[in-house]
Amino acid sequence: MVRRLRFHSVSVSYFDMVQHCGSIREAARRLNVASSAVNRQILKLEDDIGAPLFDRLSSGLKLTPAGELFARHIGVVLHDVERLRSELEAMEGIRAGHVELIVAETLAVDLLPTVLEHMHARYPRVSVGVTVSGSQGIPQAIISGAADLGLAFALPKHEQLQQLALGHFRLAAIVPPNHPLADKSQVSFGACADYDLILSKPEISTRQRLAPLLKSAHFSGRTRLETASLELAKQMVVRGRGVAFQTAFGIEAQVAAGELKMLPLTDSGGIFCDLGLYMSSGRYIPAAVDAFARILTDEILRRERHEASQFGALG
Domain ranges of the chain: 1-93, 94-167+273-315, 172-270
Strand bridging mode 261-264 / 196-200: unpaired
For the chain, residues with pLDDT lower than 50 are 1-7, 217, 314-315
The pLDDT value recorded for residue 279 is: 94
Q: CATH number of the domain at 1-93, please?
A: 1.10.10.10
The pLDDT value recorded for residue 83 is: 63
The answer for residues whose C-beta is within 8 angstroms of residue 130's C-beta and 6 or more apart is: 101, 102, 103, 108, 112
**CATH, domain 94-167+273-315, list 3.40.50.1370, 3.30.1510.10, 3.30.420.40, 3.40.190.10:** 3.40.190.10
- Give the CATH fold of the 172-270 domain: D-Maltodextrin-Binding Protein; domain 2 (3.40.190)
The pLDDT value recorded for residue 315 is: 44
The pLDDT value recorded for residue 3 is: 43
- The DSSP result for 53-110, as a single string, is SEEEETTEEEE-HHHHHHHHHHHHHHHHHHHHHHHHHHHH----EEEEEEE-GGGGTT
The pLDDT value recorded for residue 281 is: 87
Per CATH, 94-167+273-315 and 172-270 having the same topology is answered yes
The pLDDT value recorded for residue 108 is: 95
CB 137 within 8 A of CB 274: no
